[in-house]
Amino acid sequence: MKLDFATGLLAATWVVGWLLFWRFPSLPPAGPARERRISVVIPARNEAATLPGLLAALERQTMPAAEVVVVDDHSDDDTGAVAFTAGVQVLPAPPLPEGWTGKASACWYGAHQTTGDVLVFLDADTEPAPDLLVRIVAELDRHGGLVSVAPYHRMARAYERLSALFHTIAVMGIGAASARLGVPITGAFGPCLACSRANYTSVGGHEAVRSAVADDIALARVFRSAGLPVHVVAGRDAISYRLYPNGVRQLADGWSKNFAAGAGSTPPVRFLLVMAWVIGLGTAAQVPFRSALTALAGWSYPGILGWVAYAAFATQLALMLRPLGNYSWAAPLFPVTLAVWFIIFVRSIVWTIRGTVRWKGRVVPVRP
């Protein structure tokens, strides 16, 4: 087997992948945590189907929240009634102020109607384990600043696995799983965020990111700008969700909304490294197709080295996806997920150039 320059570059991009995603630490098990008054704020727009699971899970917490507030963000369904029936406080969101996104406005309003010294923001479709809040408080005691827990992606239908590369690259892009110790975390995962009220107020909270489509990434940026740490961990056994359960269109719209904004916030060197890894992945993804074509033509490319590269990238991706969700076939069939990633990434760039995205029945400006 002769090693050529192209093979060397492919090996180099594989190594780059490990530098970007070496280990994504999980939220540690419950340990000693100071008693804190916790306020849980849940922004909800058309979430009548998902809220009961979350609210029931919050009832079972080993460290119960002092307040659970659902902010009904002008829903068209029974979101408010479902939350009221569950016995939590329901706040109708005020009219959306000009220049604000709906979620930022709902979070800001909800935070200011609560009194806890710890604020936990949860998306309505999340499913926390009974010890989530005590583990978050312990993590907040250890690190301070902003703590973000990436929910474990629990998938039930085949198309949901098409999120595989988006999820992996999102973790790479914010630096949460880097092999380099002390790398700055430049983003967060919005479905589960926690901070002290004092820090939230000092950085300006969601008002400081009122026009951001990716409010979680923007909120991490304002915490870092204020000199406060941002800590991101994997949820695994602590919190899960089904990210886009309503079909391929929802998946495409959701990732199109978030991905260009996330790419724009990634430090330039890290962005180039991520793109180098994607190019290596794309080169390896061609092996099955080139192998089939050359076999038909009687040629020998790509030979065993090509399949070794394919297996190496598939194994790497499988290990990266383990803490993120039950992705099963997404790793060995990565050419499929890569093709979907490329199409939706281009779509997100087009949306960004156009200046607006559409999400949950609203037209949202991409640029402030």
Domain boundaries, the chain: 5-21+266-365, 38-246
DSSP 3-state of 273 = helix
Q: At residue 367, does pLDDT exceed 60?
A: no
Average pLDDT, the chain: 90
CA distance 25 to 149: 10
Contact 135, 29 (CB under 8 A): yes
b/e per residue 284-298 (b: at least 16 CB within 10 A): bbebeeebeeeeeee
Q: Give residues with Cβ within 8 angstroms of 172, minimum separation 6.
A: 20, 21, 270, 274, 277
Residue 74 predicted with pLDDT over 80: yes
Dump pLDDT digits (tens) for 174-215.
999 999 888 889 999 999 999 999 999 999 999 999 988 889
Band (261; pLDDT cuts 50, 70, 90): low
Grouping H, G, I as helix, E, B as strand and the rest as coil, residue 297 is helix
**Which CATH code for domain 38-246?**
3.90.550.10
Q: What is the pLDDT of residues 299-322, one digit of tens each?
A: 655 578 888 999 999 999 999 999
Q: Mean pLDDT across the stretch 45-51?
A: 94
Measured CA to CA, the distance from residue 97 to residue 95 in angstroms comes to: 6
Q: What's the pLDDT band for 130 if we cut at 50, 70, 90?
A: very high
Taking each helix axis from N to C end, the angle separating 334-354 and 268-285, rounded to the nearest 10 degrees, works out to: 140
Tell whether omega for the bond before 184 is within 30 degrees of 0, i.e. cis.
Answer: no
